[in-house]
Amino acid sequence: MEKQFTLFPIDTEFEVPKERTASDGVTLVSFRELVPEITDTGYLTHAIVSYPAKFIPQVVRYAINTYTQEGDWIVDPFAGSGTVGVEAYLCKRNAVLLDLNLLLNHIMPLKIYREKEQLHKEHLCKLLDSMRESKNHRFIPSWSNVQYWYAPEILKLLSHHWGYIYSIEQDVYAAIIKTALLKVSKRFSYTEHRTPKLARSKRKLAAIEGLLRENWKDQLIEIVYDHSLKTLRSLNDFVMQTQHHQNQVDFQGGVDSSYIDVPRECDALITSPPYLQAQEYIRSTKMELFWLGHTDEEIKELSRLEIPYRKADRVIHTPTLDKVRDQLSRPDLHKRLDSYFCHTINALENAMYRLKPNAAACIFVGNPRIDGITVELWRILAEYFSERGYLFEKVYEDRIKTRQLFGVRKNKNPDGMKSEFLLILRKTAV
């Protein structure tokens, strides 16, 4: 039986968060409780492509309904997997999405599928059948060490499948199959596919060797069919829910959010900046980017702009940040801290410059630890922007019960973050 996808109402009135206020003025909430109509963080098109540290849609939906009106424009300078764009479109808002990662350009036309006609399962299956039988096409990524990551027979089969897909019309059906091929291209590689970064391991090498002694081709193609059909159903559900939506979502991947011009004034900012200790999103998705046709040089050029590999062009000072900086003895951690706050605040400031007077900036962050020291990101951002004419309005604390960042690998924050925080700032009229 095919899985049925639940459609969720988008015009829900929200109750005011229960005032469980901590001693420092932080309001304790559960966004999952405040947005009960979203019971699955991967509903509709949110889960089409895997992406590390996704922005959960309940937080975005709450911010959209609380701080924007229908027809408003929202900007997200750290768009990631496009959660803000999907939620904005569902709620009849417009959005500008910016991100360093080129993956955004590939996934957003599917995540926000604007056509109004239902897609046909029969046509998709016909293409999948043809792909399965085709041996006349071949595509090898422009990746200098691609052979390091694959068994030769698996690489050969993947190259035929990708070659076929690149040979046909590049329409929505081809894009659907590409999402499935991305999934198997990682799962059947030597990398630990359940971790974000590429990491070839003895365990995975042994797993692939065992797989090659089985009917691995059937297993691979079964995953491709299943994922493709699931994606088609997700898109059809999205079409059903957005039949009368005419709002707009503009997106640009492969851009530096610190300096690119935001093309219009916006009514709100809703974003979740990268984690302090886990900002290497391009390195986490470079296998996918290679299969999507990008080159070594393209990816290396953008990777150099990721925060851990980028020098600070100014040093940010706030009382809380200076206190953390004074406790760090290692020069490399000083550089990491300075780089993170320099480039994160540069991107936020660049986007917030284009906010209209009285617009809200909704910034969702955790409080990570660096060398055993807790870094209160929300407080540092509140201090910085309050000194520059923004009004501090509120901060919500959402305590994490089950999720741990990168829990399956050696973790710089092994106990996981205890909470995440939604900081609300208001742009003044001046």
Strand 390-399 relative to strand 27-29: parallel, antiparallel, unpaired? Answer: parallel
Task: State both tokens at 143.
Answer: 């990746």
Tell me, rounded to whole angstroms, the distance of Cα 309 from its chain centroid. 20
CA distance 405 to 412: 10
Q: How many CB atoms lie within 10 A of CB 175?
A: 18
3-state secondary structure of 252: strand
pLDDT at position 357: 96
Q: Is 287 exposed, middle or buried (0-12, 13-18, 19+ CB in 10 A)?
A: buried
Task: State both tokens at 214.
Answer: 């089985």
pLDDT in tens, the chain (430 residues): 333 333 334 443 433 344 444 446 799 999 999 999 999 999 999 999 999 888 999 999 999 999 999 999 999 999 999 999 999 999 999 999 999 999 999 999 999 999 999 999 999 999 999 999 999 999 999 999 999 999 999 999 999 999 999 999 999 999 999 999 999 999 999 998 777 778 898 999 999 999 999 999 999 999 999 999 999 999 999 999 999 999 999 999 999 999 999 999 999 999 999 988 666 788 889 999 999 999 999 999 999 998 877 899 999 999 999 999 999 999 999 999 999 999 999 999 999 999 999 999 999 999 999 999 999 999 999 999 999 999 999 999 998 765 444 444 444 444 556 899 999 999 997 6
CATH superfamily of 20-104+248-284+294-427: Vaccinia Virus protein VP39 (3.40.50.150)
Question: DSSP for 110-171?
Answer: HHT----SPP-HHHHHHHHHHHHH--S-----S-TTGGGGS-HHHHHHHHHHHHHHHHS--S
Closest of 309, 305, 283 to residue 296, by C-alpha: 283
Residue ranges per structural domain of the chain: 20-104+248-284+294-427, 121-241
